[in-house]
Amino acid sequence: MINAGELRSGTTVERNGQLWEVLSFEHVKMGRGTAVVRTRLRNITTGALTEETFRPEERFPRARIEKSDVQFLYRDGEHYVVMDTTTFDQFPLDEAQFAQAIRYVQESDHLYVLQYDDKVIGVELPIAVELEVAQTDPGFKGDTATGGSKPATLNTGLVVDVPLFVGVGDRVKIDTRTGKYLERVL
């Protein structure tokens, strides 16, 4: 069990038979009243967002989410086939379980499968991934690192804003949490 006062970003709790991930939290002390905890929660199964306010002493069962390291192998129609890197077992994930991860992964990339009660509930990406620029407008002489940005389509189909000096064929590092360009990889 976990108290509402102990909730942190990334914590997963069970509430009303559903799994909820804490996206943000704020402890608020009212003038004369008692403190409250304002949270922004995401339903793991449906993806629905909600904002809730709790008393700090309210208790929730903490959900035990298991993480296993897997390697993305290939797409097979509606399914994405991954391989557990410790047991070498291969199993398919459907589009709902893979969610937005397909925009950031290529064949043979590593990611984590999240399981609750031996049921796959989703995937977790590494914080940053390296992808190749497939299409972008050409840079011109005089383009600098701080001179602006332009859209670039990466080899996974993801479109991000990159600096003007980045060209087709360059490898770039992308933050998977925000979807933004971090740096060019040499």
Instruction: Say whether both 120 and 70 belong to one domain.
Output: yes
Q: What is the pLDDT of residues 147-158, one digit of tens each?
A: 678 899 999 889
pLDDT of residue 60: 86
CATH code assigned at 180: 2.40.50.140
CA gyration radius for the chain? 21
Point out the domain boundary residue: 124, 153, 169.
124
Residue range 40-61, pLDDT digits in tens: 998 887 778 899 998 888 898 8
Q: Are residues 113 and 138 in the same domain?
A: no
CA 19 vs CA 135, 151, 155, 159: distances in Å: 40, 37, 34, 31
Question: In sequence order, what are the beta bridge partners of 80?
Answer: 75, 93
What confidence score (pLDDT) does residue 163 get?
87
CATH number for 37? 2.30.30.30
How confident is the model at residue 140, as a pLDDT?
Answer: 66
Could you tell me the pLDDT band of residue 135, with boundaries at 50, 70 and 90?
very high
Question: Within this chain, do residues 85 and 100 fall inside the same structural domain, yes or no?
Answer: yes
What is the number of domains present in the chain? 3
The model's pTM: 0.70
- Structural domain including 173 reads 128-185
Last residue of a domain, one of 60, 75, 109: 60
Last residue of a domain, one of 35, 60, 85: 60
DSSP labels, the chain: -EEGGG--TT-EEEETTEEEEEEEEEEEE-SSS-EEEEEEEEETTT--EEEEEE-TT-EEPBP--EEEEEEEEEEETTEEEEEETTT--EEEEEHHHHGGGGGT--TT-EEEEEEETTEEEEEE--SEEEEEEEEEPPP-TT--TTS-EEEEEETTS-EEEEETT--TT-EEEEETTTTEEEEEE-
Q: What is the pLDDT of residue 170?
A: 92
